[in-house]
Amino acid sequence: MVLTTMPLFWVQLTGHTMNYASDQINQTKKTTAAIATHLEDWELLDDAEDTRGVLLNRSIEGTPSLILRTQNQRLHIGGSCQFKSDAVERTQRLGRWGREAPPNMTVSATRSPAAIAKDIQRRVIKPYLEWYEVKTAELWQEVANVREREAITRRLCDVIGQTPVKEWQGDIESVGFKVSGKQSKVDWFEVGYRNQIDMRLHSLTEAQAQRILELFAAKELI
């Protein structure tokens, strides 16, 4: 008898919990929609699959957003680290959680939407957008650095008549290299022949790296 009644008990309990969670999600989204009417430039993200309340600001590149969650009659509001733009390959993450986490706050969920919106404007939005601007600038600098490294790699590949590949396969008569640098400077340079690393150098000019590859290609350093 015990073996047959226990599963039924747990199914009922799980169903009750799921209904409670669903009600909480719906209430969070309803509260978020009400708050949005009191915040200029911020709108509700209408996504049925998202279990949070999300406010977006589409007037700023990268679409900064605020995430709202409800727990035990408390409403937690925090800025998102996500950056979305057609100028980058994929959604990027700005900073890390912890010391670099965006501003956030927690208030009573029973307060009026207008009062909560006023607090969000003062305690979260202003410092969050300042944080977002700094982190966005850092992201664009990193994007520029990556593109410059790719350009250096292509130019160095041209020296030995090869095309860039993700992994050096070590084919016969193959000269390979790895490079890290920016602004036409080579911070770290690793070069070898037939998948054997023969040289590691730091702080080169691009012209010096080119000359080393020319010597490797001519087998004068092999």
pTM, full prediction: 0.69
pLDDT digit string (tens) for 107-128?
999 999 999 999 999 999 999 9
| Residues 6+ away with beta carbon under 8 Å from 197 | 190, 191
Domain assignment present for residue 8? The answer is: no
Amino acid at 74: R
Residue 155 lies in a domain: no
Position 11 confidence tier, pLDDT thresholds 50, 70, 90: very low
Q: Are residues 177 and 80 part of one domain?
A: no
The confidence score (pLDDT) of residue 197 equals 58
Same structural domain for residues 180 and 208? yes
User: Of 102, 117, 145, which residue sits at a domain end?
Assistant: 145
Percent of the chain, pLDDT > 70? Answer: 70
Domain, as residue range, for 210: 165-217
Domain match, 138 and 38 both: yes
Domain end marker among 145, 177, 193: 145
Domain shared by 138 and 212, yes or no: no
From 87, 116, 145, give the residue that closes a domain: 145
Residue 4 lies in a domain: no
Q: Decide if 172 is inside a domain.
A: yes
- Residue 10 in this model has a pLDDT that exceeds 50: no
Please name the residues in contact with 21: beta carbons below 8 A apart, sequence gap of 6 or more.
none
Does residue 136 register a pLDDT over 80?
yes
d(CA 157, CA 141): 24
Tens-digit pLDDT profile for residues 148-182: 888 888 888 888 777 665 555 555 455 667 677 66
Domain count across the chain = 2
- The mean pLDDT value of the chain amounts to 77
Using a 10 angstrom Cβ sphere, with 0-12 exposed, 13-18 middle and 19 or more buried, the burial of residue 216 is buried
Same domain, 44 and 104: yes
Query: Which range has the worst mean pLDDT, 9-23, 64-78, 157-171?
Result: 9-23
59 shares a domain with 98: yes
Same domain, 122 and 200: no
> Same domain for 30 and 93?
yes
Look at residues 75, 32, 79, 76 and name the one whose alpha carbon lies nearest to residue 60. 79
Does 1 reside within a domain? Answer: no
Q: At 18, is the pLDDT very low, low, confident or very high (cuts 50, 70, 90)?
A: very low
Residue 160 belongs to some domain of the structure: no
Per-residue pLDDT band at 86 (split at 50, 70, 90):
confident
Same domain for 140 and 96, yes or no, is yes
Own/partner pairs for 107-114, CB < 8 Å, 24+ apart?
107/74, 107/75, 107/77, 108/73, 108/74, 108/75, 109/31, 109/70, 109/73, 109/74, 109/75, 110/73, 113/31, 113/34, 113/35, 113/37, 113/38, 114/38
* 152 in any annotated domain: no
How far, in Å, are 54, 179, 200 from residue 47 at the CA level? 9, 43, 51
Residues 205 and 132 in one domain: no
Same domain, 188 and 112: no
Same domain, 19 and 129: yes
**Domain presence at residue 115:** yes
pLDDT band per the 50, 70, 90 thresholds, residue 101 = confident
